[in-house]
């Protein structure tokens, strides 16, 4: 038997996990500022629900971890948090809309492993159901911006619109739904593969070289150029897509968020359920090329599942915790951080040390007591290895005098404090 992690899964301990918890706590606080409430959904889902309308050969289905239970039911591990959220909304009765939730949880994809992308990874999502239009999309994007500012990560947000993409493809004479979907997937690779490989992929879909020239032209235009090009168009998807993008950009510019935004006509995002504006966040000068997060509008998913004659517009975003972790983990404020504020070394004063530790913990400090009766040198070596900033050596003389000596392990400075004035520690411990 080989004792090891499954490929693409990792253990995180000590400072590593402390950073990851910091990311979760920071994002939770951001989400709560906007009135989003917590939700937890199951990791195991019915496979048919995860499959949606994807073609069996689609990459997303190839990456699903498929399992069965003792009843031989086809199940799978969730690959994102959006599908379980849509399921939750669908099976709820009498839910007050709009409903705004956040969820932080593990998702699983049996795909390529690279920096920031494991096979088990954490997504931090916010979603809203029951609101359409650009107002809520501006709020959603402002959450991205606030989160990135909290982490002090330079970033840009790329945006596009799935209706606009579909309309441009329709304008080229491609109307079959499956062909449109395949072309959109190819477009999404325009900045990632060579022109020759892209051309071959488009030829396989059925786009002649002549048609590809028109195709390439449109998907290299900026938003203003597309607006001029299609000012008199009769294509509904192009009209709606441009209007949705324009409305969102107006709000973002008014809020001074426009400086973070870049229109990217080739941005598609892989999931089939997106219907309108879509977004992805990228870290600048981080060495990581993959997105830090993404999302968009998916107005038909919940509507089609509930099928009660009403519309359930939805929009959401996801922060990738693992990618953020890879950016933060080497920062100085994290690499030298101790998980303990104070280390007490008893010298025949074990019970007194335990009581002292509890008293100091009541002030909110993290305190560890030496439990193995180490000699002072070994105990101090331990404190240095763990980067613990402060140490108290508590001997019988200190107990008798009812005072202690607090040692700063970095400056070597010592401070004497009376047991009656322990709250003076607050002026020293930071």
Tell me the range of 116-120, 198-202, 333-337, 415-419 where mean pLDDT is highest: 415-419
Cβ partners under 8 Å of residue 130, min gap 6: 97, 98, 99, 312, 313, 314
pLDDT at 363: 93
Statement: residue 217 has pLDDT above 90: no
Pairwise CA distance, residues 209 & 205, whole Å: 12
Average pLDDT over residues 111-125: 89
pLDDT at 427: 86
pLDDT at 430: 72
In percent, how much of the chain has pLDDT > 90? 75
pLDDT at 174: 85
pLDDT at 224: 95
Fill in the DSSP letter of residue 272. Answer: T
Pairwise CA distance, residues 275 & 184, whole Å: 12
Pairwise CA distance, residues 24 & 10, whole Å: 18
**Least-confidence region, from 287-291, 308-312, 326-330:** 287-291
Statement: residue 316 has pLDDT above 90: yes
Q: Are 329 and 286 in contact (CB under 8 A)?
A: no
pLDDT tens string 130-182 = 999 999 999 999 999 999 999 999 999 999 999 999 999 998 888 888 888 88
Statement: residue 118 has pLDDT above 70: yes
Confidence of residue 190 (pLDDT cuts 50, 70, 90): confident
pLDDT at 200: 85
87 three-state secondary structure: helix
Provide DSSP, 305-354.
Answer: HH-SS----EEEEEEEHHHHHHHHTTSHHHHT--S-SEEEEESS-HHHHH
Pairwise CA distance, residues 313 & 273, whole Å: 12
Peptide bond just before 220 cis, omega within 30 deg: no
Please, what is the Cα angle at 288 between 282 and 289, to 5 degrees?
60
Average pLDDT over residues 322-339: 90
Pairwise CA distance, residues 316 & 82, whole Å: 8
255 three-state secondary structure: coil
pLDDT at 321: 96
Pairwise CA distance, residues 42 & 312, whole Å: 22
More confident residue, 219 or 157: 157
Strands 403-408 and 120-129: unpaired
Same fold flag, 15-328 and 339-427: no
Domain boundaries, the chain: 15-328, 339-427
pLDDT tens string 254-302 = 999 999 999 999 998 877 889 999 999 999 987 888 899 999 999 999 9
Provide the 10 A C-beta neighbour count for residue 53: 10
**CATH classification for the domain delimited by 15-328, as one of 3.40.50.150, 3.30.930.10, 3.30.460.10, 3.40.50.11740:** 3.30.930.10
pLDDT at 208: 80
Pairwise CA distance, residues 36 & 83, whole Å: 18
pLDDT at 409: 94
How high is the mean pLDDT of the chain? 92
Tell me the whole-structure pTM to 2 decimals.
0.90
CATH superfamily of 339-427: Anticodon-binding domain (3.40.50.800)
Average pLDDT over residues 212-218: 81
Average pLDDT over residues 347-376: 94
Confidence of residue 56 (pLDDT cuts 50, 70, 90): low
Q: Are 202 and 186 in contact (CB under 8 A)?
A: yes
Question: What is the arrangement of strands in the sheet containing 44-46, beginning at the earlier edge strand?
Answer: 44-46, 74-77, 66-68
pLDDT tens string 375-402 = 999 999 999 999 999 999 999 999 999 9
């Amino acid at each position: 038997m080989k004792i090891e992690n499954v490929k693409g899964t990792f253990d995180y301990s000590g400072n590593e996990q402390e950073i990851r918890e910091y990311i979760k706590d920071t994002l939770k606080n951001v989400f709560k500022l906007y009135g989003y409430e917590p939700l937890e959904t199951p990791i195991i889902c019915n496979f048919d629900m995860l499959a949606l309308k994807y073609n069996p050969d689609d990459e997303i289905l190839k990456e699903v971890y498929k399992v069965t239970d003792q009843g031989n039911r086809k199940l799978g591990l969730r690959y994102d948090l959006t599908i379980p959220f849509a399921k939750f909304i669908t099976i709820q009765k009498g839910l007050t809309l709009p409903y705004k939730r956040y969820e932080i949880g593990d998702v699983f994809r049996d795909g390529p492993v690279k920096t920031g992308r494991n096979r088990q990874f954490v997504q931090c999502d916010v979603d809203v159901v029951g609101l359409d239009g650009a107002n809520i999309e501006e709020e959603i994007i402002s959450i991205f911006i606030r989160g990135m500012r909290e982490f002090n990560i330079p970033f840009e947000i790329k945006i596009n619109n799935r209706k606009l993409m579909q309309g441009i493809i329709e304008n080229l004479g491609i109307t079959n739904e499956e062909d449109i979907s395949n072309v959109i997937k190819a477009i999404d690779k325009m900045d990632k593969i060579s022109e020759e490989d892209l051309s071959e992929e488009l030829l396989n879909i059925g786009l002649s070289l002549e048609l590809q020239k028109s195709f390439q032209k449109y998907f290299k235009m900026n938003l203003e150029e597309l607006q001029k090009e299609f000012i008199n168009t009769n294509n509904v998807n192009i009209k709606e897509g441009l209007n949705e993008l324009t409305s969102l950009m107006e709000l973002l510019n008014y809020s001074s968020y426009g400086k973070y935004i870049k229109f990217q006509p080739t941005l598609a995002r892989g999931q089939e359920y997106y219907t309108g504006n879509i977004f992805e966040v990228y870290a600048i000068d981080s060495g990581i090329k993959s997105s830090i997060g993404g999302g968009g509008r998916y107005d038909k998913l919940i509507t089609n599942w509930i099928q009660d004659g009403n519309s359930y517009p939805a929009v959401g975003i996801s922060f990738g915790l693992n990618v953020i972790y890879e950016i933060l983990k080497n920062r100085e404020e994290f690499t030298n951080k101790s998980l303990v504020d104070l280390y007490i070394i008893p010298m025949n004063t074990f019970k007194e040390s335990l009581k002292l530790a509890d008293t100091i913990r009541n002030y909110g400090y993290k305190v560890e007591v030496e439990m193995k009766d180490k000699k002072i040198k070994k105990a101090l070596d331990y404190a240095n290895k763990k980067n613990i900033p402060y140490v108290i050596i508590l001997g019988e003389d200190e107990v008798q005098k009812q005072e202690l000596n607090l040692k700063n392990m970095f400056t070597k400075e010592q401070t004497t404090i009376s047991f009656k004035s322990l709250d003076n520690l607050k002026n020293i411990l930071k």
